[in-house]
Amino acid sequence: MEVWQKSRILVNGIYRATKNSLFSKDIVLCRQIHKAAISVSSNIAEGFERGGNREFLNFLSIVKGSTGELKSQLYIALDQGYADEADFKGLMKIVTDITYMIGGLMRYMNQSGMKGSKFKKG
């Protein structure tokens, strides 16, 4: 899935940004932003593997929450001088893109009549 691939880019960008010496010293924020970024890719994958649209939608809702959390944490990093404007804007764009992609996927799934692969009659 394209959104999952983009979430991998996000995780790598977050890890790269938190290697900054100032950022890396803020252990609490580093740990929290890592968890939120990991949550995005992990919940996309786990929801998809469940094989049912209701379950997948639930996991996608969690992903949307994690993207909101990441946006807030990125603003904290910017405000504390841990990230420069360019890094902030780049990561924020990826998070925003993922948020829109998840929203579109959720709308599609809600409007389609599909129930997911585990409900197919064999």
User: 78 with 86: CB under 8 angstroms?
Assistant: no
Q: Report which residue type is found at 119.
A: F
Q: Is the pLDDT of residue 19 over 90?
A: yes
Domain borders along the chain are 2-110
Q: Is the pLDDT of residue 107 over 80?
A: yes
- What is the CATH superfamily name and number for domain 2-110? 23S rRNA-intervening sequence (1.20.1440.60)
For residue 116, the model assigns a pLDDT of 66
pTM: 0.89
CB atoms within 10 A of CB 85: 8
- 77 by Cβ neighbours in 10 Å (0-12 / 13-18 / 19+) ranks as buried
For residue 120, the model assigns a pLDDT of 61
pLDDT digits (tens, 9 = 90+) for 31-88: 999 999 999 999 999 999 998 888 999 999 999 999 999 999 999 999 999 999 999 9
Question: Cα(99)–Cα(116) distance, rounded to whole angstroms?
Answer: 22
For residue 20, the model assigns a pLDDT of 85
pLDDT digits (tens, 9 = 90+) for 23-32: 999 999 999 9
Q: Which two tokens stand for residue 48?
A: 């998809």
Q: Is the pLDDT of residue 117 over 90?
A: no
